[in-house]
Copies of this chain bind each other. A is one copy, B any other.
Amino acid sequence: MLIAVDAMGGDFAPEAVVGGVLAVARDVAGDIALVGPAERLEALLPRPRARPRNVRIVDAPQVIGMGEDPGRAVRSKPDSSLAVTVNLVRDGEADAAVSAGNSGAFMFLAQVRLRTMPGLQRPGIAVPLPGGGGPRILIDAGANVDCRPLHLAQFGMMGSIYAEHAWGCASPRVGLLSIGHEASKGDELTRAAHDLLRAAPLNFIGNVEGDQLFADGVDVVVADGFVGNVALKVTEGVGHTLLQFIKEALHSSPRYRLGAWLVRSALRQAMSKMDYANYGGALLLGVNGICVVGHGRSSARAVANAVRVAERAVLGGVRERMEEGLQRMAGLENGANSVGVSAG
């Protein structure tokens, strides 16, 4: 197994990326290629004899910035670290591509170079959600807006396979994010997708509401990418806000400051359960290759976990299972047109 990591991707690249790779390398069952300007990366690594034997550098002289227009950047920088990372997967040299860089450019490259799987309408972004009690996968977390019902049904299938084969969740319970439990609740898209998901060969448990995103009882949460992305960002926002309130409250008296000193690490532990950095990266499901899209603000720890997510997906054979899953879902496609078509 070879995992290709875009060393120049993310706000804190290349330092955070190199740091994350070095931290995780000895635990990974395969090799890691750090892709970027060779000299610069060489300077960041320990001398050859002290570095993990499974880490190597693949030279790529150009860098795509976080704010660049994806299409233009991809065209004008054929030798960017991101493009070379994806090319390694396309050419069969690497099993997975990891980047915390320009996510638009990454998804563009993944879809153009690796292509969407046959039978699949749209790839989707699957995110392991922060929260307790094992894996909980949100899909789609922002790759697609204006989805049609069949897209959501296929997201359900992909999320289910990912939860089962990468996260060890047997017979994952698939829920549809809506605003009420009854099948009749939700917007036009959700109601039509509900019918399709019920007909699909999945363990579909019906609608779930936003407050169940972190509760036990569901393993895969399906949503249109607009709704999924809003839900994910709200999660981040609430976490940060609460943390801020707690910090302020704990500094407001000597008694609290003493108590805060005593409980500091317990609070840190609780907060870290909600931290995306512990869950690594988002997987772009549905292209012919494993692509892990890291958060732009990825720390070394987040990069390390993104590499672990890639490893999980490769070892679980997620891509191969997906091909089988798409065949099982093929019958749904014809029914989909009669279920009702929403915008887009």
A179 lies within 8 A of B142 (CB): yes
Stretch at the interface among A164-172, A250-258, A309-317: A250-258
User: A208's closest neighbor in chain B, by CB?
Assistant: B233
Question: Quick one: which of A213, A229, A245, A260 has the most chain B CB within 10 A?
Answer: A245
Decide yes or no whether A249 CB sits under 8 A from chain B: yes
Q: Does A343 sit at the interface, judged by CB under 8 A?
A: yes
Contacting residue for A234 out of B213, B225, B256, B269, CB 8 A = B213
Distance of A230 from chain B, by nearest CB (Å): 4
- Of B236, B242, B267, B269, which one neighbours A211 at CB under 8 angstroms? B236
Pick from A13-21, A24-32, A93-101, A184-192 the stretch touching chain B.
A184-192
Are A267 and B238 interface neighbours, CB within 8 A?
no
Is the C-beta of A215 less than 8 angstroms from some C-beta in chain B? yes
| Given A230-B177, A233-B210, A234-B211, residue A249 in contact with residue B262 (CB < 8 A) | no
Q: Does A232 contact B (CB under 8 A)?
A: yes
Asked if A269 and B249 sit within 8 Å, CB to CB, the answer is yes
Report whether B273 and A245 are in contact in the complex, using a CB–CB cutoff of 8 Å.
yes
Assign chain A's interface to a size class: 35 or more
Contact A263–B273 (Cβ < 8 Å): no
Residue A344 is within 8 A (CB to CB) of chain B in the complex: yes
B226–A145 touching, CB < 8 Å: no
* A259 is an interface residue with CB less than 8 A from chain B: yes
Closest to A240 in B: B211
Does A337 lie at the interface of the complex (its beta carbon under 8 Å from any beta carbon of B)? no
**CB-based contact B211/A145 at 8 Å:** no
Query: Do A242 and B187 touch (CB < 8 A)?
Result: no
Which residues on A are within 8 Å of B, measured CB to CB? 131-132, 142, 145-146, 177-179, 186-190, 209-215, 223-227, 229-242, 244-246, 248-250, 252-253, 255-256, 258-263, 266-267, 269-271, 273-274, 342-344
Closest CB pairs A-B (n = 5): A259-B262, A210-B233, A211-B237, A259-B263, A343-B343
A–B pairs, 24, beta carbons within 8 Å: A145-B186, A146-B187, A179-B229, A186-B226, A187-B343, A187-B344, A209-B230, A210-B234, A211-B236, A213-B237, A214-B241, A215-B237, A226-B227, A227-B230, A234-B235, A245-B271, A248-B270, A252-B266, A253-B266, A256-B262, A258-B259, A259-B260, A259-B263, A262-B262
